Amino acid sequence: MNMAEPLSFDDLRGPWRRDEPMARHVSWRAGGRAARYFEPQDIEDLQRLLRATPAHEPVLFVGLGSNLLVRDGGFRGTVVCLHSARLHAELEGGVVRAPAGVAAPKVARFAALHQLAGAEFLAGIPGTMGGALAMNAGCYGSETWALVSAVTTIDRHGRLRRRPKSDYEIGYRHCRLKEAHEEWFLGAELSMPAGNAEQARARIKDLLAKRIASQPLSLPNAGSVFRNPPGDHAARLIEACGLKGLARGGARVSEKHANFIVNPKGTASAADIEWLIVEVQRRVLETTGTRLVPEVRIVGEAP
């Protein structure tokens, strides 16, 4: 890919690099390069970056990269990594304020420590709160936006907004701002009832044990690849179609959990993974009549 020339961001404090391999920043450990990659030190640094970025320049916000695939031709724009800063949740007036770049499991532990109930499931979300908000991530019967009372966002001009939950259309693995305006999440205000710290920690421990027992966490993966269809499970449909172990290049459908695609030796290309996604969709639709919808986000150019 012919990467664009670097922009002049002389007043930025955080590090930024050209032609950054995104395989270093996504949990699949595969994929192409980003034309530019930036790690803001704080919100003011991020505002400077957005104000210096031309309107036509694509911008992609990334946390732990646990739900993302960058095609092998790369991303012709600027990737902003929010997880790079040292972030932590805070408790203010009974509300947990969670920055977008903080890992969801940290929020689960923080809530338990402060004797709040209902956030334990976040321990099973392998990403940041920003990603959890963007896709209404959930597991074990709970979803992120059930906890949210308001969010803080930033737009292309660096303007900050505090938005109530009512500004968004929320659904299963879905979140969309009702007005047509490009914004990214910077944080969330989470409201939870009082609970018992010991019980919350026990719940977290139990959920993590279930994850370890049922998911291929020792291999590079991006979590669940497909949404569960209404009244069914994607993993059941994929397994019923005999697709466990289906492989392409260095990628394969996990034998441990059929809704996971793994990169066991770190040699898979993004094209290998995307081929498996499409092929699993095709075969499940052909065999069962059910169209699986991907949870993972795929961006960038074909090689």
- Residues composing the chain: 303
Identify whether the C-beta of residue 239 lies closer than 8 Å to the C-beta of residue 208. Answer: no
CA distance 93 to 104: 21
Q: What is the pLDDT of residues 53-98, one digit of tens each?
A: 888 899 999 999 999 999 999 999 999 999 865 678 899 888 999 9
What kind of fold does domain 90-214 have according to CATH?
Answer: 3.30.465
pLDDT for res 85: 59
Q: List, for the chain, all residue ranges whose pLDDT scores fall below the cut of 70.
A: 1-10, 84-86
pLDDT for res 219: 97
Catalytic site residue from 27, 66, 84, 224:
224
Question: Which residue is listed with tokens 């392998």?
Answer: 126
Check if 224 is active-site: yes
- CATH for 16-81? 3.30.43.10
Question: Which residue is listed with tokens 């009702």?
Answer: 178
pLDDT for res 84: 66
Q: What angle do CA 48, 32, 55 make, to 5 degrees?
A: 30
Identify whether the C-beta of residue 86 lies closer than 8 Å to the C-beta of residue 79. Answer: no
Query: Given the DSSP bridges, would you call strands 297-299 and 68-70 parallel, antiparallel or unpaired?
Result: parallel
pLDDT for res 92: 87
Backbone angles phi, psi at 167, to 5 degrees: -75, -5
Check if 255 is active-site: no
Q: Where are the domains of the chain?
A: 16-81, 90-214
Check if 173 is active-site: yes
Catalytic site residue from 71, 173, 203, 252:
173
